[in-house]
Structure formats: C-alpha cells, structure tokens
A = this chain, B = another copy of it.
C-alpha cells in the first residue's frame, strides 16, 4: 500500500530560462531502459513476486522500500523536464500566429503534440517505456546481481546526460540522483555480500569517477546523502534493511545509516498556463467559477 504527499524529494531550482532540447535528453533518465521508470518497476515487481518474504525479510524489505524512493525519483525527473520546458506565451494569443513553429526544429514533436510541453513516459529517442525492461527471475542472487548492474548502468547514463547540459535545474536533479543511485548500488552490493559472502565493493565506482567530481553531486555527498537509506514509512515497516545496510561505504568508508521515515522533501513547482497548447484550456471565468466552487465547499 502506498501513500502520497504533495512534495518533491528536494527543492528544484526554479529556472530563469528553459532548455527544451535538454529536456528531451533528460527524458532518457525517466523513460529509458536505464531510467527511473525502469528501476521503479523492477523493484516494484520484485517486491510483489518475492518468494519466502518472511525467511528473507531483510532482502524483501530492501527491494520493497527502495521502490518508494524510486517513485519519488520518477517524480523528480518529470518535474525537472517540465521546468526545462519553461517558456513564456505571447499575449494576446491568436491561433493563427504559428506560435508552435519552433516544434519542427526538434528531434521529435511529442512534447508539443501529445503533451503541453511536459514529461512523457518515453526515452530520449521518443520511444515509450516498456515492461520489457523489468527483470524478476525469482532467484534472489540473480535478481540482486541484476539490480546491482542496473543501478550502475543507470549511473553511467546519468553521468553522460549530465555532460549534455549545464542547466542548473537539470544538474541539481542529476547530482542528487547520482548520490541516491550510488547509495542503491551500495545497498545491493551489501545485500549480495551478506547473502553470499562475496564483496563487490572494490569494483566501485563504475565508471571509475567519483560522485564528488560532479559539482552538484558533491553538495549532496557532503550532506551525507550517499550513506543513508530510508524505510519510507512511519509505521516501522521494512526495517530489516538495517541488517543489510551496515558497516562502511566501500568508496568513502563512511558509516552506513538507516533512517526512519522519509526525507523532509522540497516544494512542488507550479506550471503556468500555455494558451497556445490549450493547457489547461480554461479562461478567467472558469477560474473564478472554480474558486467560488471551492469556497462554497470548504
């Protein structure tokens, strides 16, 4: 069972300007094979499909609780994309003004036709995310090894997209996710170690560049976010992760910590109306009516 609150995991910088083409490549981190929809759904299905969840509680708790964080990652990348599409509409608006003529200069116009310049469950090429990206074999060591590999692949893609744009909002998000994804790499490494006795820690980091080299990741590493797992609820579920996520970080030697609950979180950005997209497509009278409606009810 899931709950939702109206917060992002972190405050995203409100941009002064957009970078729509950067938005398109950031889509890879959302809907690509190694994007957040993939990590989310892998752990979601592995948690559903876990065999012997009682006997193997720590491992079940690990994939179950990380799932909740991945939902927040999906959300964070989506909002980043939306902010990168920041634009100002010409006013007054006339449909004959060819206001969207810029769309033809894009690799594809999906965000101009299917959405009103907002995120979609697609990758950077414009192809939709697919359940083919989910691996759930039921063999615990194999699933953990997969997750270890998946997180490292996801890290590699984040590092490359980081190098494609220096937009502050994109980099803030990627820096944060490099740190949190790095934590997940360690979590799966520790899980494999506790289960098999084999430590993959000395392989890390892959690629062989520390998160601390990335300006926006360094900030979050310095806050200690690379050493923390949350259990993502306030009722004491999933605390079996404490038996896995223990000892020290293989790269930094920092002590690993399990925190109860969730991060405090950041504010939810608002998106302006874009009349040339007919989004949300309401006029002043509509807003007044909704506001009145709202007041009457409350």
Q: Is the CB of B124 within 8 A of A163?
A: no
Beyond A142-B152, A208-B283, list 16 extra A-B contacts (CB 8 Å): A4-B68, A5-B235, A6-B64, A25-B104, A48-B119, A50-B271, A51-B118, A53-B270, A96-B215, A104-B164, A125-B126, A129-B131, A138-B277, A139-B207, A141-B281, A146-B153
Q: Which of B52, B213, B297 sits near A272, CB closer than 8 Å?
A: B52
Contact mask A62-82 → B, CB, 8 Å, 1/0? 001101100110110011001
Q: Given the interface contacts A119-B45, A281-B208, does A58 sit within 8 Å of B294 by beta carbon?
A: yes
A134–B119 CA distance with the chains assembled, in angstroms: 11
A207–B49 CA distance with the chains assembled, in angstroms: 17
Chain A: residues with Cβ within 8 Å of the partner, total of: 157
A209–B279 CA distance with the chains assembled, in angstroms: 12
Interface: A88 (CB within 8 A)? no
Q: Is the CB of A3 within 8 A of B100?
A: no
In chain A, positions 211-242 with a C-beta closer than 8 Å to chain B are 213-215, 232-235, 237-238, 240, 242
Give the one of A95, A117, A135, A215 with max B CB within 10 A: A95
Q: Given the interface contacts A105-B21, A116-B138, A242-B297, does A232 sit within 8 Å of B45 by beta carbon?
A: no
Complex interface: chain B residues within 8 A of A139 (CB) = 116, 156, 206-207, 277-281
Q: Shortest distance in angstroms between A81's beta carbon and chain B's nearest beta carbon?
A: 9
Q: Given the interface contacts A112-B164, A113-B160, A280-B139, does A2 sit within 8 Å of B1 by beta carbon?
A: no
